[in-house]
């Protein structure tokens, strides 16, 4: 399959990409941050779900538009997550981020089943494209399409967010994932998607 076919016709709920994300460094930075930088997010469909915006209108602008023209690296991300910011700038296969958020689900927390976006498949340019696990404690589960995505610390998953999905944290630890949105599709990104699809099959 070529890239466009994988993106629009594979009907996969998720696809793991090899990004070599420095999750240990990210977790060190996250755990050292003031906890009041994480603000409650969408409590209408969730319990104990908090977010910190790395790239957006402000660290607390969790509900602002993913493609807002003023989106940029937040001062708080530059101060508290400098090494993670540098990784995204230098190694993530995109030149145009729309938004990046760190999502925290506390023990006993959950996100009720819902769908995001109207474009089926792995869609760039609408909300988040990729989900990277900074950690994933045992008992933290991302359910989609009658399966559980096999997240582990550092894994990067391309997800079809148009499919109904839900999250639960049945562990006794905080669960931190990073949600990335980007509007471009670089050759490097396309190559990683194709290589991941071939490994899977």
Tens-place pLDDT, residues 36-88: 999 999 999 999 999 999 999 999 999 999 999 999 999 999 999 999 999 99
The answer, yes or no, to whether residue 98 has pLDDT greater than 70, is yes
Tens-place pLDDT, residues 120-129: 889 776 677 8
Give the chain's mean pLDDT.
95
Question: How far separated are the first and last CA of the chain, in Å rounded?
Answer: 11
What domain range includes position 132?
3-57+64-200
Tell me what percent of the residues of the chain surpass a pLDDT of 90. Answer: 89
- pLDDT given at position 126: 64
Mean pLDDT for 97-116 is 96
The torsion angles phi and psi of 102, rounded to 5 degrees, stand at: -95, 125
Crossing angle, helix 82-91 and helix 23-32, to 10 degrees? 150
Tens-place pLDDT, residues 139-191: 999 999 999 999 999 999 999 999 999 999 999 999 999 999 999 999 999 99
CATH code of the domain in which 131 resides: 2.60.120.330
The torsion angles phi and psi of 163, rounded to 5 degrees, stand at: -80, 145
**How many other C-beta atoms can be found within 10 angstroms of the C-beta atom of residue 50?**
21
Write b or e for each residue in 28-37: b if 16 or more Cβ atoms lie within 10 A of its Cβ, otherwise e.
ebbeebeeeb
Q: How many domains does the chain have?
A: 1
- pLDDT given at position 125: 66
- pLDDT given at position 119: 80
- pLDDT given at position 117: 74
């Amino acid at each position: 399959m070529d890239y466009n076919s994988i993106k629009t016709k594979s009907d996969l709920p998720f696809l793991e990409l090899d990004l070599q994300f420095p999750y240990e460094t990210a977790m060190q930075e996250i755990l050292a941050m003031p906890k009041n930088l994480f603000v409650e997010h969408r409590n209408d469909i969730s319990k104990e779900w908090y977010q910190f915006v790395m790239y957006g209108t402000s660290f607390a602008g969790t509900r602002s538009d993913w493609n807002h023209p003023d989106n940029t690296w937040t001062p708080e991300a530059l101060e508290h997550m400098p090494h993670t910011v540098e990784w995204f700038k230098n190694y993530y296969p995109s030149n145009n981020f729309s938004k990046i958020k760190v999502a925290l689900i506390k023990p006993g927390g959950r996100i009720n089943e819902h769908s995001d976006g109207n474009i089926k498949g792995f869609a760039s340019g609408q909300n988040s494209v990729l989900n990277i696990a900074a950690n994933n404690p045992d008992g933290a589960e991302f359910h989609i399409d009658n399966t559980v995505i096999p997240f582990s610390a550092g894994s990067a998953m391309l997800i079809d967010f148009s499919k109904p999905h839900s999250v639960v944290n049945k562990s006794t630890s905080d669960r931190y994932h990073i949600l990335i949105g980007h509007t471009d599709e670089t050759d490097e990104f396309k190559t990683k998607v194709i290589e991941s699809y071939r490994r899977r099959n």
